[in-house]
Structure formats: structure tokens, C-alpha cells
Amino acid sequence: MTHTELPGNADSDEAMDVFAARARTLLTESADHLDGDTLSRLHRARSAALDSAEGRRRMPWHYAFVPAGLAAALVVGVANYQPPATLPGAYDEAMGQAVVEELDLLQNMEFMAWLALQEEGADGSSS
Amino acid sequence: MLNRSQLDTFLSGVERAAFRMADIATRNPDDALDIVQDAMMKLVEKYADKPAEEWRPLFFSILQSRITDYHRRHSRTRRIFSWFGKEEEDEPMPEVVEPVGPAELLAQRLTLESLIEGLDALPPRQQQVFLLRTWEGFSVAETAKIMKCGEGSVKTHLSRATAALKRAVLEQGEEDSNDAH
């Protein structure tokens, strides 16, 4: 591999400084003259990074309500819990009530039938 | 709490240089933007609570890490070299022989095109060290910390990078003079 020989003083600290300074100037100028599309995309990238970080940082604070809400719901649920045994009792009571109502209706029907017979009898005796 | 305004100011101050560095490293503006955005996100997410004066070295450390990851993913040649255990440090240092001209002349010959072309031809680590030391002005110790290597490696990389860039400028100058004749 052949290399172009460097000037003797081009490898000195002074030359390094001059060369480095020139390189720095060129690079800085190139960065200062980025096209509008690239600058716009950089701006969007920056905003996205900041938004994303803000979102992530907010999340744990919001999520703190989720377990708290679940715990509260659990406490309320346990406090209001009634064993399933109460259901048959309620059923029996309802059924009993229905039976009583049916008996009343039956008695009423018997009474109405008797009343009708009495009225017919009265009509027949009068005619 | 996220200091959005302060972070925004900091990021807007480094984003152009970061993009140019990533662009030089990848030669692909889209990939460069992805790398810069990724570095921004990581800094804001992980280090926003750190003192503001620590952001700059941290940001460039993340950026260099992302660029290194990019090269690992995309450079088959480097992967092959790594399989055989060949490191950049093993490259022979070209010898400087005799004086040719003043140092200022060499610097004057340096154009953005020749600089970018020269940087493009450098091994990634040399390229990164040159940009961090020469452009961003990080000290040897800071550069070593950012690059996660020893200070000796930084000095070696910088010396080789600068020598290679100067040679590229000289060669370009010779080609131009030959074309003129």
C-alpha cells in the first residue's frame, strides 16, 4: 500500500491545529447550512423525543390510580357481599306470598260464585 | 419533573452536529435521523434528571453508541474482520518521510468535499474520535469516556485519522494538478 508522503511540518502539533481548525470550520458551516427539510425533520424528532418522554413519565402517575381503584372496588365488594344462601329464602318468601295470593283469589272466586247463586235464587223466587 | 424547555434548548443546540456526525457515519440521511432521534429519546428518558452540564457528553455517548450499533448491523466487512480478531488498532501506521510544504497550505486545500470523502474512508472508530475531538472539542479523557475506550486509543485513533485525512487532501491535490496538466 502506497501513501502520499505528508509534508514534514504538516504532522507537527501546529499543523494539526491548523488542519483541525480548518476541518472544524468546514464541518460547522455544513451543519449550519442544513436544508429546510432536514431541519424540519430534526425539529419533529426532537418534539417526538420530548413528547414520548413526557408521556412515559406521566404514565406511572396515572397508573397509580388503577390499583387504588381496584383495591377500593374490592373493599366495597367484600363489604357488600352477601352469601348465596339468602337467595333460596327470598325465593321461598316470594313463592309463599304467591300461594297466599292464589288462596285469596280462590276464596274470592268461591265467594263470587256463591253470591251469583244467591242472586239467581233471589231472582227466581221473586219471579 | 421533566424540564422540557431546558431540554429542548439543549437538543436544538446539538441536533445539527449530531445529524452531520450520524450522516457522515451512515451516508444515509434517513438512518442518520433515526439515530439522532433515538439518541434524543434515550437522553430525555434516562438522563433528563441529571445536571444539565452532563447532558452533552451523555448525549454524544449515546449517539456514538447508536452509530457503533449501526456499523455492527450494517458492515459485513467489519463483522468478518471481527471474526478473525482483526482490530483497527492493528492497522499499520504509515510513515511520514520528508517535508513537502507549509502546514497552512495543506489546511487551505481542505474542502468540505475532500473532508467528507476522507472521513468516509476512515474506519468508524477513527472517524468518531476525529469528529468528537476536532469538531465537538471534547478532551482526550472525555472522548475516551464517550467512546468507552482508553485515552491511549483515542490518541492513536486521532493521530491515524488526521494523517489519513491529510494524505487524502494531498492525493486530491495531486490529482487536481495532474488533471490541470
For the segment A67-80, the average pLDDT, to the nearest whole number, is: 68
Domains of chain B: 4-83 (no CATH), 99-180 (1.10.10.10)
Asked if the C-beta of A13 comes within 8 angstroms of chain B's C-beta atoms, the answer is: no
Q: Are A16 and B162 an interchain contact pair (Cβ–Cβ within 8 Å)? A: yes
The reported pLDDT for the residue numbered A94 is 63
pLDDT in tens, B127-178: 999 999 999 999 999 999 999 999 999 999 999 999 999 888 888 766 766 6
| Share of residues in chain B with pLDDT > 70 (%) | 78
The reported pLDDT for the residue numbered A2 is 46
The minimum CA-CA distance between B95 and chain A, rounded to whole Å, is 8
Taking the C-alpha atoms of residue A74 and residue A79, their distance in angstroms, rounded to an integer, is 9
* ipTM of the complex model: 0.80
Taking the C-alpha atoms of residue B148 and residue A39, their distance in angstroms, rounded to an integer, is 30
pLDDT in tens, A16-73: 688 899 999 999 999 999 999 999 999 999 999 999 877 766 655 555 555 566 667 7
Q: Work out the pLDDT band at B110, boundaries 50, 70, 90.
A: confident
Enter the pTM of the model: 0.65
Q: Where are the domains of chain A?
A: 9-80, 87-127
Taking the C-alpha atoms of residue A73 and residue B109, their distance in angstroms, rounded to an integer, is 76
Among B96, B105, B114, B132, pick the best mutation site for testing chain A contact (most A Cβ within 10 A). Answer: B96
Taking the C-alpha atoms of residue A111 and residue B177, their distance in angstroms, rounded to an integer, is 133
In order of A9, B25, B67, B91, the CA distances from B74 in angstroms are: 38, 11, 10, 21
Q: Are A42 and B94 an interchain contact pair (Cβ–Cβ within 8 Å)? A: no
DSSP assignment string, B52-79: GGGHHHHHHHHHHHHHHHHHHHH-HHHH
In total, the C-beta contacts within 8 angstroms joining chain A to chain B are 148
Nearest residue to B88 (alpha-carbon basis) of B154, B169, B25, B133: B154
Asked if the C-beta of B180 comes within 8 angstroms of chain A's C-beta atoms, the answer is: no
